[in-house]
Amino acid sequence: MAEQLHSAFESSMDKTNLILKDIEQAYGWPKKQRNQSYCALRTVLHLLRDRMPVQESVEFAAQLPVLVRGIYFDGWKPSDVPIKLNRDDFLLEVRQGFPYDAEGGPERVVRVVLDTLRRHVTQGEWEDVKATMPRDMANILP
């Protein structure tokens, strides 16, 4: 049992590191800037989560690695969602939650993170996520 738990934990760590590495590669950031890739991931995950209806949010999270799922649900208040944010408000919130200067600004941060996450969930689930977004938001989702 302990071996299975260790293996599951290692697998989740590997998948999480792959997601962070994909974000870093998109920007050309070295691994020593892992705090930036983590901050980008966390910021976009939380805003996406809070923009979706509870059921869709849970279904999306179920496909994430366990460690990323923990980041996703950290501080979540299901009774407070979905928060209605249009595209500009969403990008403003990203800018406030991601205090680093990144090429392409908040919109590119969102695109890089979401493109990375899209590769880790099924196409059907991704289409469900996009369907919950207003048209101006759906345009920035890959």
Residues of the chain with pLDDT under 70: 1-6
Crossing angle between the packed helical segments 2-27 and 66-73, to the nearest 10 degrees: 70
Query: Do the beta carbons of residue 58 and residue 132 sit within 8 Å?
Result: no
- Mind listing the pLDDT tens digit for each residue in 54-95? 999 999 999 999 999 999 999 999 999 999 999 999 999 999
Residues 67, 142: Cα–Cα separation, whole Å: 23
Compute the distance between CA of residue 36 and CA of residue 33 in angstroms, rounded to an integer.
Answer: 6
Other CB atoms within 10 Å distance of the CB of residue 6: 10
User: What pLDDT is attached to residue 53?
Assistant: 95
